[in-house]
Structure 1
Amino acid sequence: MPFQDVDDIAISEPQTAPTRVEKLLRRIFIEDWSLKLLSLAIAIVLWMLVTGQNQPVTAHLNVQLNFIRPQSLEISNDPPRTVDVMLTGSRNKLDDLTSLDLVATVDISDQHAGERVLRLADKAQIALPQGIKVDGYQPSAIPVRLEEIVERQVPVEPKVEGQPANGFEVYGVSPNKGSVPVRGPASHVNSLQKVLTESIWLGGHNESFTASNVAIDVPDPKVDLLEPVVNVDVEIGERRVEKTFSGVSVSAADGGAVQPATTAVTVLGVASLVNSLKSEELKIVLDNDFKPQLEVPDALKGKITLKSVQTSKFIPLR
């Protein structure tokens, strides 16, 4: 009977059940590889997104300028109303900002009258969320001209449109205020010669009327109207005509005779009155300065106007 070496005999060891730790390690490192790889990929993407949001980025926004000026001075030129500002900060904070949220306040209350160049990096202040800073402005500097604020009375000129009813005309247009006060930078106020009212419509009117609270227009935005409305009286009457009368008698104010004793005159008045006049009803009286004055019947006083006298010089007879 042959004998086997001890080494050739397989010794089977008893198998023991895996411990709880071994099961946990197997589950972590060996089982469900596809799910673990997916989870790892998601984690990497989230990490990249979070770190990307926190990385500083640059954005450009258009912001409004608000000037704080000296109390007695006004800006007389036209500096830009907005500028571009370059901001640096996290993307999520910058994405939450809009131009409507930002105002650049420029304090020039310490400045004197004259031409000034303002560096916005030194003068402008913007309220920004924490973590966002200003890196620059475009333009980086703006010119400003400061002038003394003055007040002045400026003549008012009514503006009318349209035509009165047929057979009527406008005799006169007059505001209840000959002038109104305005205020603004000296150069703008001093260059203002007059102010116009808004249009007053005359169409169809056949009698005088008053337009109340008519707005005054000042096209210069730098000039403020301190009294923005007026009342305007519009005088309307029958259409007038001119007519020349010859052989009108002439005398001095004291009744003395003059040479020539008669002259031709041209008068203005309502057609129905002028056309019914006769030369005998008219008279020229020379005042103390020998200036001709027209005399008419009492019923026509104020209704007939002297336009011209043919004779340029009269000589008193002594």
Structure 2
Amino acid sequence: MDLRTNLGLKLTAIFLALAAWVYVHNLGDIHKDLKVVVDLSGIPDTLEMVGEQPPDIDVRLRGPESSLVNLSPQKVNLEVNLKDQPLGPGIHTILLDASMVRRPPGVAVDRLSPSSFQITLENRVNKEVPVVVNLRGEPAAGFEVVGTSVVPARVVVEGPESVINKLDSLFTASISIKNARDTLRLELKSLPVVAQVHLVSPDTQVEVVVRIRPIQGEITLQGVRILAAGVPAGVTADSASPRLRMQPATVTVHAEGPRVQIERLTAADLVVVVELAGRNGQDLDLAAGDLAVRAADPQALDVQPLTLSVTVPATIRVSWSGGD
């Protein structure tokens, strides 16, 4: 029999049979579109990805209704492993194909959109940077921050080269000093870092000291009285005594300390004491450093927080005659 007889009819029959087979084979299949996150791995430890992350990929799946109707994006993985690719700093185009999609058996991948994406890689570098104390708020009225310290003072960070090169310091977590009146001492369990920056020693604990004191002031007081201590018997411990002569009878005192106390201080609150015990009855020239500035009434004034010094004159002449 000649096979070429009725060739057109025979080809039509074959086409119809093939179409019927495809129809029967796909009978009951449905399509489902899912947006899937890219699971990227295989980047060498010496490199880090910067810039935009891989986009979510629209995946069109085809398969039995029983396999797809309740299928969620969490059960479909798009695994992109770059371990066998020659990678270095720069921009790389990653091509996607159906073999990268992990899906249930009997489910096919009809489409991936987009079918590729780009990543940018940079060298991973490290750098030592100072730790800076991050303060929030203000101390109580009349108080001030005079300094901070932190241990460790410097830490080593690592990350993409472009990010690390711009990093000049690392801040601690925010520390409130609102209404504080005394020095604060804190222990912080960790240091916050900016995106893509890592601590080489992530378990580093930090000790912070914030030194707070009253706001300081100063004043110069003229006419502060001079009194003598350890005077011989019969000699009045006052410059008005005819047997005790001090020139001059008053001095100028410079005072430094908490401003709230300095603002209330007057010359009448202080006395300058000349110690005469053990000295011979003769003329003495005492330098300002030999004099002690004290409170005229220790019960009314605490001079402990103050720094007091005689500034004028440079020396005081003291003379007296012997006692009875």
TM range (shorter): 0.5 to 0.7
| Equivalent position of 2:39 in the other structure | 66
Aligned to 1:210: 185
Q: Deviation of residue 135 (structure 1)?
A: 2.2
For 2:192 and 2:182, how far apart are their aligned partners in 1? 26
Alignment of 1:231-246 (within 5 A): 231-241=207-217
Residue matched to 2:58: 84
Please state if 1:113 is matched with 2:86: no
The alpha carbon displacement at 1:115 in A equals 0.8
| Residue aligning to 2:280 | none
- Counterpart position of 2:159: 184
Q: 8 Å contact 1:60–1:86 — kept in the other structure?
A: yes
CA contact (8 A) 2:75 2:103 kept: no
Q: Does 1:193 align with 2:168?
A: yes
Letter of the 2:50 partner, please give it: S
Structure 1 gap segments, 5+ residues each:
1-50, 246-265, 282-294, 305-318
* 2:268 aligned with 1:271: no
Aligned partners of 2:36 and 2:57 also within 8 Å: yes
User: Judging changes above 3 Å, is the alpha-carbon distance between structure 1 residues 146 and 242 closer, same or farther for their aligned structure 2 residues?
Assistant: farther
What is the CA–CA distance in structure 2 between the aligned matches of 1:190 and 1:209, rounded to whole Å? 33
Aligned-partner residue type, residue 60 of structure 2: M
- For the 8 Å contact 2:131–2:152, the answer to whether it is kept is yes
Preserved contact between residue 213 and residue 229 of structure 1 (Cα < 8 Å): yes
Q: 5+ residue gaps in structure 2?
A: 1-23, 222-253, 273-288, 294-302, 308-324
Deviation at 1:165, TM superposition (A): 2.6
Q: Secondary structure at the match of 1:80?
A: coil
Bigger CA radius of gyration: 1
TM-score w.r.t. the length of structure 1 is 0.58
Distance 1:231 1:71, change over 3 A: same
Deviation at 1:217, TM superposition (A): 2.5
Shift, 1:268, TM fit: 7.4
Amino acid at match of 1:116: H
In the alignment of these two chains, the number of paired residues is 217
The answer on whether the counterparts of 1:54 and 1:91 sit within 8 Å (CA) in structure 2 is no
Once the 2 structures are TM-superposed, how far is the Cα of residue 216 of structure 1 from its aligned partner? 2.5
- Structure 1 segment 36-185 matched on structure 2, within 5 A: 54-68=27-41, 69-80=43-54, 82-109=56-83, 110=85, 111-121=87-97, 125-185=100-160
Once the two structures are superposed, what CA deviation does each residue of 1:6-31 show, in whole Å capped at 9, x if it has no partner? xxxxxxxxxxxxxxxxxxxxxxxxxx
**Deviation for aligned residue 1:127:** 1.9
Decide whether the 8 Å contact of 2:171 with 2:192 is kept in 1.
yes
Question: Which has a greater percent of helix?
Answer: 1
Question: Per-residue deviation at 1:82?
Answer: 2.4
Shift of 1:205: 2.2
* Deviation, structure 1 residue 244: 8.5
The separation in 2 between residues aligned to 1:196 and 1:63, in whole angstroms, is 37
1:127-159 CA-partner distances (Å, limit 9, x unpaired): 222211222222221110111111111222211
Kept after mapping to 2: 8 A contact 1:79/1:142: no
- Evaluate the alpha carbon distance shift between residue 268 and residue 112 of structure 1 in structure 2; reply closer, same or farther with a 3 A threshold: farther
SS at match of 2:173: strand
| Length-normalised TM-score, structure 2 | 0.57
For residues 90 and 174 of structure 1, the distance between their equivalents in structure 2, rounded to whole angstroms, comes to: 67
Q: Structure 1 CA distance, aligned partners of 2:262 and 2:168?
A: 39
Give the RMSD, CA atoms, in angstroms: 3.6
Paired AA for residue 130 in structure 2: P
Tell whether the 8 Å contact from 2:181 to 2:212 is kept in structure 1 after alignment: yes
